[in-house]
Amino acid sequence: MKKILASAGAAAAFFATAAAYAAQPTPWQTGFQPAATGIMEQIAWFEQYTLWFIVPITLLVLVLLLYCILRFRAAANPVPSRTSHNTLIEVIWTVGPVVALLFIAVPSFQLLTAQYSPAEEAKVTVKATGNQWNWDYEYQTEEPFSFNSAMLADADRAAEGKEDLAVYPRLLAVDNEIVVPVDTMVRVLVTASDVIHAFAMPAFGVKTDAVPGRINEIWFKAKKEGLYYGQCSELCGKDHAFMPIAVRVVSDKQYEAWAAQAKTDLSGANKALMAEIESTAKVAAAGN
């Protein structure tokens, strides 16, 4: 019995590790992806907070409509009222929405302020340039390096070591992910080379247009290591739906090793990083 429980615990730990390893959309998903940054946690909270206003207001309007339909229909009210106004009702439907809007506006402005006011200076800066239909990434370090990232073709999965569809899902996996360290402020400078694109990463709570000739700035600080997926979110042509974004969040040590090798051997750096992550995940699963 103990062996069965131990095996079940190990399996649960392994699948929990795998789940954290690849944050991505799920079938029939109606809510947000799990938050990986403080900003996304605030966005998720604000969404739930506004529902406390939206749901009651929607139900109230529905009830009022049904009441009016039934109470003032021709059969039940053959002689319609000639009342032109009601001061109390006018005061209520003026003051009520104003109060509700104030309760929504204050946390909304606080969230907007937090989104555009990073708490610290960025330690990593990446320039993302949208193309039809892929992304160019440039790491602006002391020795800058850049690479292209495009949707992973099925025929290339074996060569890239990305055959696991649970981790590298079809239409979302890319050949070269952005790699950033965990708990580190990252600045992303977003632009485009041809038409308007949009850089969106749901788990991070960031989204901004990529406009030719203009640079927009976003930032994030990922709290959890893992592989996160986003997509271009601005209609940009026939292959708009095939322009994914992937960000791999790793430890400081793993990031430094990857960045040092990626400057001269990007493919080798990616494979070495993937091998280390998979090895760590298996050790963690075995330990539990």
Return averaged pLDDT per consecutive 10 residues of the chain, 288 residues in all: 41 40 76 91 95 94 94 84 84 92 95 90 95 96 92 92 90 94 96 96 94 95 93 94 95 94 92 87 63
Predicted pLDDT at 236: 93
Q: Give dist(CA 174, CA 62) in Å, integer.
A: 46
Domain identity same for 169 and 260 = yes
27 falls within a domain = no
Domain identity same for 188 and 226 = yes
Domain identity same for 145 and 232 = yes
Domain identity same for 97 and 208 = no
Predicted pLDDT at 1: 44
Give the pair of three-digit tokens for residue 156.
């290339």
pTM of the model: 0.82
219 falls within a domain = yes
Domain identity same for 241 and 267 = yes
Predicted pLDDT at 286: 64
Are β-strands 134-139 and 145-149 bridged in parallel, bridged antiparallel, or unpaired?
antiparallel
Domain identity same for 193 and 259 = yes
Domain identity same for 132 and 251 = yes
Domain that holds residue 102: 38-73+87-115
Predicted pLDDT at 59: 97
54 falls within a domain = yes
Q: Give dist(CA 41, CA 19) in Å, integer.
A: 19
Closest CA to 180 of 248, 90, 264, 82: 248
Residue 197: strand, helix, or coil: strand
20 falls within a domain = no
260 falls within a domain = yes
80 falls within a domain = no
Predicted pLDDT at 76: 83
79 falls within a domain = no
Q: Give dist(CA 173, CA 279) in Å, integer.
A: 20
Domain identity same for 108 and 171 = no
Predicted pLDDT at 31: 85
23 falls within a domain = no
Give residue 213's region: left, alpha or beta (phi > 0; psi -120 to 50): left
Domain identity same for 146 and 100 = no
Domain identity same for 98 and 151 = no
Domain identity same for 134 and 268 = yes
Amino acid at 77: N
Domain count along the chain:
2
Query: Which parts of the chain are beta strand (E)?
Result: 22-23, 124-131, 134-139, 145-149, 178-181, 186-192, 197-201, 206-210, 216-220, 226-232, 244-250
Domain identity same for 191 and 245 = yes
Do 42 and 111 touch, CB atoms closer than 8 A? yes
What is the full DSSP assignment across 170-193? TTT-BSS-EEEETT--EEEEEEES
